[in-house]
Amino acid sequence: MTSALGSVPAGSGTAPRPGGADPQLPVRPHRKRWGRTARWVGWLWVLPALIMYGVFVLRPLVLTVQYSLYRWNGIGTAQWVGFDNYLTVFTDRDLLKIITNAFVLIIFFSFIPVALGLLVASLVRRITTGPGGTLVRTVLFLPQVIPLVAAGIAWSWVLSSNGLVNQLLRTVGLERVTRPWLGEFSTALPSVGVIGTWIMLGLCTILLVTGMSKIDPSLYEAARMDGAGPIREFFAVTLPSLRQEIGVCLTVTVIAALASFDIVYTSTSGGPGIQTTVPGLEIYRLAFSQRQVGLASALGVVLMLLVLVCVLPIQRLTRGEKA
């Protein structure tokens, strides 16, 4: 591993040279030789991190891909099955439903928090720069600080039959609406989604508020001079300027939705039925309780690809024209 890493940069360093000076780099003759050594030294500095990355990220990734081609219980000898596990992932009705659940959660984890976040950010923008700013930011960011497990447990109390939500509904005379929100088939997934919204809203708001504070005030001034009201101002100035922040929000929250585990595990364990089971939970169950390490790995690989498929377009859309 070490030797591979060591030899690679040397090759890449010389590759663009044959044609003469590197076209991208301004040439500084007196530093050229030092530059080459510096590259070596640079790699040396990042070597510990690279080794960690290789052992704890790349190696597991490669192994997961390998496992996904076998039928294996985690202990005994594995049996080569080729792409059978992937076939199962794409044909098993339950597994498809589980993947769909993750996409439903994107609405609650990403779209709603970003939309609400924009609204809240526009409202609190002025406050956050004032003296009470720290307080507002802290309150907004609090859900992010609380461990997801604790949030899941707390929310399962709030949403239980005698929980806060139902108590409130009873107080205002809506007894008929009360129900075990996390235990009923029709409301379980949206209820889990609401927990996600609560957690993600703070993150999105803070990011968006920060983004807004960077917008040049003269743009607003110009807009107002042109006769734009607050709404027009929002769509013409605020929204386009926040392109990158929205991109970050969407990326982070979409990954959180697709790879969710903690909230679901603590609040519903995937029930009732498989109504709230998400790929993360199913991978864990398949690997550790059903001991189908191969199938679990295949689902893991598919999940990774799904995350990439969803996140890369977002990156492209929100980054593309900036430069």
Partner 1 sequence: MPEYSTRFTRRRLALLVPLLTAGLTITACSPPGAEQTPSGDSDAAVSTELGTDPITLEMYAETGFPLAKALADEFTNQHPNVKFNIREDQFTVIVENAPRVLASDNAPDIIRLPTMVDLVKDGLLKNMDPYFDAYGWDKFPASQLVQLRLADGGAVRGSGSLYGMGLGYSVTGVFYNKEQAEKIGMTQPPATIAEFEDLLAKAKTANLQPIMQFNKNTAGINFPHQALQNQYGDPTQIADWIFQKPGATFDTPAALKATQTIQKWAQAGYFPKDANAIDYTAMMGEFMKGNGTFMFNGDWESANLDKNMAGKAGFFLFPGETADAKNVAMSAPNTFGVGARAKNADAAAYFLNWVHTNDKAREISVNVGGSHPGGPADLPLPAVSDGTVLAETLKASQQLGADNGAVDFTANATGGIFASAITPEMQKLIAGQQTPEGYVKAVQAEYEKELSR
42 or 240: whose CB is closer to partner 1? 42
72 binds partner 1 (CB under 8 A): yes
180 or 190: whose CB is closer to partner 1? 180
243 or 285: whose CB is closer to partner 1? 285
Structure tokens at 39: 């590259």
> For the CA atoms of 307, 312, 314, 319, what is the dihedral angle to 10 degrees?
150
80 binds partner 1 (CB under 8 A): yes
Cα–Cα dist 215/212, whole Å: 5
243 binds partner 1 (CB under 8 A): no
Nearest approach in angstroms of CB 140 to partner 1 is 30
Nearest approach in angstroms of CB 272 to partner 1 is 4
121 or 286: whose CB is closer to partner 1? 286
62 binds partner 1 (CB under 8 A): yes
CB atoms near residue 47 (< 10 Å): 13
78 binds partner 1 (CB under 8 A): yes
Identify residues 40-59 at the interface with partner 1 (CB under 8 A): 54, 58-59
Structure tokens at 92: 């098993």
138 binds partner 1 (CB under 8 A): no
164 binds partner 1 (CB under 8 A): no
Interface region with partner 1, contact rule CB under 8 A, candidates 144-152, 217-225, 231-239, 287-295:
287-295
13 or 133: whose CB is closer to partner 1? 13
Structure tokens at 120: 């809240």
141 or 288: whose CB is closer to partner 1? 288
Side-chain-side CA neighbours of residue 185 (13 Å): 2
Kindly determine how many residues on this chain lie close enough to bind partner 1 according to the rule CB under 8 A. Answer: 47
73 binds partner 1 (CB under 8 A): yes
Cα–Cα dist 295/85, whole Å: 5
2 binds partner 1 (CB under 8 A): no
- φ, ψ of residue 32 in degrees (nearest 5): -60, -50
DSSP 38-98: HHHHHHHHHHHHHHHHIIIIIHHHHHHHHHTTEE--SSS--EE-TTHHHHHHHH-HHHHHH
Interface region with partner 1, contact rule CB under 8 A, candidates 74-82, 120-128, 252-260, 303-311:
74-82
Exactly one of 90, 141, 185, 235 binds partner 1 (CB under 8 A); that residue is 185
Helix/strand/coil percent split, the chain, to 5: 75, 0, 25
Rg (CA), the chain: 25
132 or 320: whose CB is closer to partner 1? 320
69 or 201: whose CB is closer to partner 1? 69
Task: Quote the DSSP letter at residue 161.
Answer: T
Q: Are the C-beta atoms of 39 and 13 separated by less than 8 Å?
A: yes
Q: Are the C-beta atoms of 13 and 36 separated by less than 8 Å?
A: yes
Cα–Cα dist 187/208, whole Å: 30
155 binds partner 1 (CB under 8 A): no
Nearest approach in angstroms of CB 4 to partner 1 is 6
190 binds partner 1 (CB under 8 A): no
The residue written with tokens 């492209």 in the block is 316
Where does this chain bind partner 1 (CB under 8 A)?
Answer: 4, 8, 12, 24, 54, 58-59, 61-63, 65-67, 70-80, 160-161, 179-180, 182-185, 268-274, 285, 288-293, 323
